[in-house]
Amino acid sequence: MKLTGKTFVYGIIGYPVKHSLSPLMQTAAFKALGIDAVYVPFEVEPENLGEAVRGLRALNVKGFNVTVPFKENVIEYLDFVDEDAEFLGAVNTVKIEDGKLTGYNTDADGFLKSLIEEGVELKGKKITMFGAGGAARAVGYAVLKGGAKFLNIVNRNFSKGKIVGELLGKRGNVLVFPLREDSVATLLKDTDIIINTTSVGMKPDDPLLFDYSLIPEGITVVDIIYNPAETLLLKAAKEKGCKIVNGLGMLIYQGAIAFEIWTEKKAPVEVMRRVLEEEIY
């Protein structure tokens, strides 16, 4: 790649940011479309967030992604925030145009697109979602936006679950349950789609989230974890004849939508998928 005086700069702010796959994925996308741009990681100490965002504007950076722990706090430094980001109180993508910063949240639509790609229908469906963190907010919001009839939120920390339930309850039918074997057993008897948004399953020695023999035969099970490609939850679901979806699609599409916001060009999704698969698996 040839850098010139005209090369546009994009990036990601986070702390830490070393693990981010976005520089790889976005750089590949720019290259595939012949766009003269680079995408770099910016590790920002939390107390420097405001200064960093002002700096990105001053340096005429064209856009950036926002990751942990800044998705919420970045909002106060932006000029405009789109509807999804406003509702979720979290921004993962910023576009800078004429010195003005607009924040977007592409996690929710990224998740929706990944389900559409896999042929998963949400309309009228009953969903049981595990987890109540930042990822759960975006995923829960997405399934209600996609037309799900009921969303059950199951979380270990029940009061945290309640807070997310209260927020998402503004957009649809939402109930919150503690992570207990008896409540999970009852819920799963009447569930079309199970979604894991917790971090359980990332490490090989992680405990099981619940007793996986409770997974009904032939339903859809989604895990937003992409590494490993098949968590124990997805493996168990596969053995029960379920349709399974991992988190790689969400990672790709949140990035693809960000790319499209910045460049107003269709993202080269297959290129983005290929570089990620080569890197991760």
Q: Which is nearer to ligand ATR, 160 or 274 (CB)?
A: 160
Q: Which is nearer to ligand ATR, 56 or 139 (CB)?
A: 139
Q: Which helix (H) or strand (E) holds 71?
A: none
Q: Which is nearer to ligand ATR, 191 or 198 (CB)?
A: 198
Binds ligand ATR by CB under 6 A, chosen from 131, 140, 165, 255:
131
Alpha-carbon distance values, 194 to 20, 107, 246 (Å)? 27, 18, 12
Alpha-carbon distance of 148 to 198, in angstroms, equals 20
Binds ligand ATR by CB under 6 A, chosen from 63, 134, 140, 249:
134
Alpha helices in 33-157 (DSSP H): 49-58, 83-88, 107-117, 134-145
Alpha-carbon distance of 221 to 278, in angstroms, equals 25
Task: Report the nearest approach of ligand ATR to the CB of residue 200 (Å).
Answer: 5
Omega prior to 268 cis, within 30 of 0: no
Alpha-carbon distance of 71 to 275, in angstroms, equals 25
Neighbours of 59 (CB within 10 A): 10
Establish if 133 lies at the interface with ligand ATR (CB under 6 A). yes
Residues in the chain: 281
Catalytic one of 6, 71, 126, 235:
71
Task: Answer whether 106's CB lies under 8 Å from 257's CB.
Answer: yes
Helix axes 107-117, 134-145, angle to 10 degrees: 60
Instruction: With contacts defined by CB under 6 A, name the span among 132-140, 228-236, 260-268, 271-279 that binds ligand ATR.
Output: 132-140
Do the annotations mark residue 114 as ligand-binding?
no
Task: Report the nearest approach of ligand ATR to the CB of residue 90 (Å).
Answer: 9
> Count of residues binding ligand ATR (CB under 6 A)?
16
Q: Which is nearer to ligand ATR, 173 or 199 (CB)?
A: 199
Binds ligand ATR by CB under 6 A, chosen from 126, 145, 160, 274:
160
Q: Is 71 a catalytic residue?
A: yes
Establish if 164 lies at the interface with ligand ATR (CB under 6 A). no
Binds ligand ATR by CB under 6 A, chosen from 57, 145, 156, 274:
156
* Token digits of residue 257: 């939508």
Query: Which positions ≥6 away from 133 have C-beta within 8 Å?
Result: 160, 197, 198
Q: Residue ranges for the binding site?
A: 20-22, 67, 83, 92, 107, 131-135, 224, 226, 247, 254
**Footprint of ligand ATR on this chain (CB under 6 A)?**
131-136, 155-157, 160, 179, 197-200, 207
Q: Residue ranges for the binding site for NADP(+)?
A: 83, 131-135, 224, 247
- Supply the residues annotated as catalytic: 71
